[in-house]
Structure 1
Amino acid sequence: MANNHATENELMITRVFDAPRELVFKAWTEPERLAQWWGPKGYELQVSKLDLRPGGIFLGSQRSPEGHVMWGKFVYQEIQAPEKLVFIQSFSDEEGNTIRAPFSGTWPLEVINHLTLTESEGKTTLTLRGGPFNATEEERATFENMRPHVQQGFVGTFDQLDAFLEQNLNR
């Protein structure tokens, strides 16, 4: 049976960045900024499209240091600049068609992410929560089993965002 909501045990990550909320939001929503930090360490992101509006998509490819290329997309559900982004994340082909993850036949086709940004004294608290969307029981179980790897991946990605923000504040 499909579930249109994130799992009860959804993933939640909170991180504080020493940067204003406006800059953190731009890092998520401007292609030239997103390309500098999103994804696993050592991977290169090529942004093919970023249409920031409800129903719009981000489409991009990541190239591993060994040359392996994976495509992915976000379909934006809600945008409240500079405090909130809601998007459904999927693996895709070059045209943006949703495909199965290259590493698992049971990884959810769609993962919904709720990103909120709050600012206090020049620092931004980012909260990301999300989980499988329109997923089968098997897909939800796969997500749950891989939760530690997903969290570890976001820690690394947010380390890169932190470094990007630090470089952009000092320019």
Structure 2
Amino acid sequence: MTQANQTAMERISDREFVVRRTVDGSVRLVFKAWSEPELFRRWWTPKSFGMTIHSCEMDVRTGGGYRLVISHPSMPEPMAFFGKYIEVVPGERIVWTNEEGGEDGAVTTVTFEGRGEQTLVVWRDLYPSKEALDEAMVSGATSGFDEQFDQLDEMVAELGAE
């Protein structure tokens, strides 16, 4: 990872939170890291958060779904995160729902833009209300992206070296 790869996070409206990061790796490898369960689970949760991914089921196609079961020492029981893929364009875009949040769940859009041997990843969470995004920010749901993307960058570098 080069020092230039910084994660930019900002709230751009009452309902939208955006994360931008350039990853050292081709669009093909970066998209693969987002769409193959065995790779996804290697980088998805920030290691310092102490979370464990018990299962990761992903059918990454328009109309498909996902289900992650994650635990943390502070939680009495593992928690399921799940939703549907609204749109998947290989190498370009993945859009999914976050249904564990009920009516307050965000719709997440991640785009991949090739820039030579790097990929600009833009993650947009659109919440149904200002209050839902406020709550997500207070709860810490919008934190950890620096470490998460560092882990993605490291894994993509490993994939590129294989």
Aligning the two structures, in what range does the TM-score lie when normalised by the shorter sequence? Answer: 0.7 to 0.9
Q: Which residue of 2 aligns with 1:139?
A: 132
**TM-score, with length taken from structure 1:** 0.74
Unaligned runs of at least 5 residues, structure 2: 1-11
Q: Which residue of 2 aligns with 1:165?
A: 156
CA distance in 2, matches of 1:23, 1:131: 26
| Contact kept in structure 2, 1:47 and 1:58, CA below 8 Å | no
- Structure having the higher helix fraction is 2
| Contact kept in structure 1, 2:15 and 2:127, CA below 8 Å | no
Q: Which residue of 2 aligns with 1:44?
A: 52
| Contact kept in structure 2, 1:20 and 1:124, CA below 8 Å | yes
Unaligned runs of at least 5 residues, structure 1: 1-5, 92-97, 100-107
| Contact kept in structure 2, 1:60 and 1:71, CA below 8 Å | yes
Q: 1:157 to 1:86 in 2, by over 3 A?
A: same
Q: 1:66 to 1:167 in 2, by over 3 A?
A: farther
Deviation readout 1:8-64 (Å, 9 max, x if unpaired): 451111100110001111111111111111123242223342122222111011133
Q: Which residue of 1 aligns with 2:16?
A: 10
Deviation readout 1:81-123 (Å, 9 max, x if unpaired): 11101111233xxxxxx66xxxxxxxx6311111000011110
Q: Which residue of 2 aligns with 1:75?
A: 84
Quote how far apart the aligned CAs of 1:165 are. 1.1
**TM-score, with length taken from structure 2:** 0.77
CA distance in 1, matches of 2:118, 2:28: 11
Quote how far apart the aligned CAs of 1:153 are. 1.8
RMSD: 2.6
SS at match of 2:45: coil
CA distance in 1, matches of 2:74, 2:99: 22
Give the number of aligned pairs.
148
Q: 1:124 to 1:110 in 2, by over 3 A?
A: same
